[in-house]
Amino acid sequence: MLEQIIQQFINGISLGSVYALIALGYTMVYGIIKLINFAHGEIFMIGAFTGFYFKNGVNIYEKIAASSPALEGTFILYAIDVIVTLAVAMAVAAIFGVIIERFAYKPLRFAPRLAALMTAVGVSMLLQNLGIFFLGAAPRGYPQLLPTKSYEIFGAILSNRQIFILITTLLLILLLQFVVHKTRMGRSMRAASLDKDAARLMGINVNATIAFTFAIGSAMAAAGGILFAMNYGQVNPLIGLMPGLKAFVAAVLGGIGIIPGAAIGGMLLGVTEVTVSAFGYSMIRDAVAFAILILVLLIKPTGILGKNVREKV
């Protein structure tokens, strides 16, 4: 029984890590321009696909292993491979995020909120269907960045992939915390999310700050995309839809606009979802996130870490 619980907890945490990574992007964007970026799930998909093509097409691992055989199979080589793949995917996704912001959301910053939301849905649809058109709708097997190994802890099986997912997520969240709280750009981000006009008056380039927020959020989603696709074993153009939706729920659960909240919400959602499917209700696992959203909105709409903020006119 105990093994069962630990096992489900491990599985839940590794799923929740991915949700947390995506939720970070939602929360940051919402925090700064109060827009649900529906295209965020598609950025996640772009990240997963970039990783797929980079690993299959360029394959740093094979290249280095071919030139210096001594390195083959060593930890360093795997680390280089993983870091470069993640970095490339994150960079590509960041570029996409900035482009989307520039052309689809920026012109609508002062338009009615409905218009921006519908544009976001349009962008999401556009990316999905461009994906189907250019990459094909059929799912494809995802390359593994690491050799599969597993360890036993208290009778529960822990794969190295799960450890990798958790460590990567924690590192990225720490990095994000550092960026937001210790750097100049982070300070501008916090200022702009509090009051854009005041921030502008203080000499902050609000447009650049928003673009930067999109870049970071998209990079996080791309990392999440690679981790998710590795765990899931396959990738297709519609892969971002469900995780994107659930990550939004995670962001609301933790308190939208609050970065640690996204991490907590993601983990909680992951564990809940895995627990529900462990009890044999895997059919309704997708409905769980939705039920949680409704419950949060009924009980505490500001989320776990949220404070009640009065709306000003």
Catalog residues that contact other proteins under the rule CB under 8 A.
Answer: 34-36, 38, 104, 107-108, 111-119, 121-126, 128-130, 132-133, 137, 241-242, 245, 248-249, 252, 283-284, 286-287, 289-290, 293-294, 297-298, 301, 311, 313
Quick one: 116 or 191, whose CB is closer to other proteins?
116
Quick one: 73 or 122, whose CB is closer to other proteins?
122
Quick one: 152 or 311, whose CB is closer to other proteins?
311
- In the bound complex, what is the minimum distance in angstroms from residue 265's beta carbon to other proteins? 14
Quick one: 123 or 219, whose CB is closer to other proteins?
123
- In the bound complex, what is the minimum distance in angstroms from residue 287's beta carbon to other proteins? 5
- In the bound complex, what is the minimum distance in angstroms from residue 301's beta carbon to other proteins? 5
- In the bound complex, what is the minimum distance in angstroms from residue 129's beta carbon to other proteins? 4
The angle formed by the CA atoms of residues 22, 40 and 138, to the nearest 5 degrees, is: 95
Quick one: 15 or 36, whose CB is closer to other proteins?
36
Quick one: 55 or 246, whose CB is closer to other proteins?
246
- In the bound complex, what is the minimum distance in angstroms from residue 257's beta carbon to other proteins? 11
- In the bound complex, what is the minimum distance in angstroms from residue 299's beta carbon to other proteins? 9
